Each structure stands twice: as structure tokens, then as C-alpha cells.
Homo-oligomer: A and B are copies of this chain.
Amino acid sequence: MKFLKVPEATIRRLSRYSRCLENLVRKGEKVVSSAQLAAHCGVNAAQVRKDLAYFGEFGIRGVGYYATELMHDIKRILGLNKEWRMAIVGIGNLGSALLLYKDFLKQNYKIVAAFDIDPPKVIGRVSEKLGKPIEILHPDRMEEIVKERNVEVGIITTPASEAQKAADQMVEAGIRGILNFAPAQINVPEGFILKNVFFTTVLDNLAYLLSSAKEIKKTVPGQRNRSETDADESLHGERGGGLSSG
């Protein structure tokens, strides 16, 4: 095990290994080899071993990895051995969906505050769907609430035009990690972390592949056999500068 820069791609794969291991453990597997895990995740076996090697030695030569143990090790590496408390800003369609989206909470992620510039407008409809009243707060109170509730992650689901302002308020409130769903380019100060989730970039990708496939491949007319999924590298991130949406 060396040290230094872990590729972003490695972290993404760890996230995947973790979920595959959950399945394998659920199926009762006690020990898994890098080859098995790799097959389940659709990656190369050496890749699995290399990824893990960034963080230590987790396996037993000649045997493999203890599934449960490895799963926990990976979760610890990813920082999932704690509860991450999140605040969401912008309770429109997407915001309220995330607020209600149960698959989200599976892994130690909890939304503990919701902000919108017009609380009364949204409080009713979200509460109704949730079945219990939900508290929607004005962003002016962000700093206070963030301190009070130990929020560490902010989610932006405002319209694009409001996204930078929301990010500024988060930064001001001391939130270090921001997940942005608004189709806007946001800047944050050094030391803060911004991740974008842009749907339409992925759609654009799909559109490109469909368009170019049509041109090139006259092959594969009506094949119906199940086969291993092809590549689908996709969800990405952005850097500085102009507006961009996903």
C-alpha cells in the first residue's frame, strides 16, 4: 500500500463494490474473491485489487476477502460509517421528490432541514404527501439551523438562477460539501467541495450515442438475447466557468 492521490474513478468503484457486497452478503456469501466481485460489478479483477490496495491489505492470499468485513472496510473508507446530515435548498418538484425519496436514506444520509424562499407556498403540498407536517424554513435562517442541526452536506435543487445564491448561503453557513442539481455552473471557495448532478448531460450523451449508432451500425437489427451490458460510463462533473446543465 503506497499513499497519495486516489483516482476519482476508484472512489466511484468502491461505492459500487460496497453495494455488490451488500447483495453478496445478503445471499449468504462468506468469502469472495476479487474475480467474483469483479464479475458482479462488471470490472476487471486486477482493478478491484488495485483499488483496494490504495487503502491497505484486506484479503487473504489463496483465499479471498471476507465479504462482510470487506464491506465494512469499504464503507469506512468512503466515510459511510457515520450519519451524514444534509440540508436541501429549493423545494420545487425535484427538491420535494428528494425529500420524499426513500431509496436515498438507505445509507446513512439524512435530510434534516429544508429551505425555500417561500415556505408557506410549499409547506402544504409536501406535508400532504409526507403524511405529516414538514418544516420548511427561510434560507435566512440557514446559518443558525446548520449549526443547530449539525448539517454537513447541502443539496441545491433551486432554479438555475438561484443556485449560486444558495451555494453562497451554504458556504456562509459553514457547509463544506455541496451537491448541486440545478443546471447552473456554481463556484465555491477553496476548501469547499462541489459535486454536480446534471441529468441532461447524461441525456445529451444518450442522444449522441443513439444518433451515432444510427449512422454507423446498420448491424444488430433485431437482436433480443440478453447480454452483458455494454459500457455506459456517464454521470460526470464539471469545473469552472459558464452555465451548464445536466
State the A residues within 8 Å of B (CB): 8-9, 11-12, 14-16, 18-20, 22-24, 39-43, 77-80, 84, 93-94, 96-98, 100-101, 103-104, 106-107, 109, 125, 129, 152-153, 159-160, 171-172, 176-177, 179, 182-183, 185-213, 217, 219-220, 223-246
Contact = CB atoms under 8 A, between A and B. Distances in A.
A74 B51 CA distance: 36
Contacts of A96: 93, 97
A177 B188 CA distance: 35
A231 B242 contact: no
14 contacts: A8-B233, A15-B204, A15-B205, A20-B242, A79-B210, A84-B203, A106-B245, A107-B203, A109-B200, A177-B207, A191-B220, A193-B210, A196-B234, A197-B197
Contact of A201 (B12, B198, B207, B242): B12
Contact of A239 (B93, B199, B229): B229
B177 A227 contact: no
Q: Which residue, A153, A159, A183, A201, has most C-beta atoms of chain B within 10 A?
A: A201
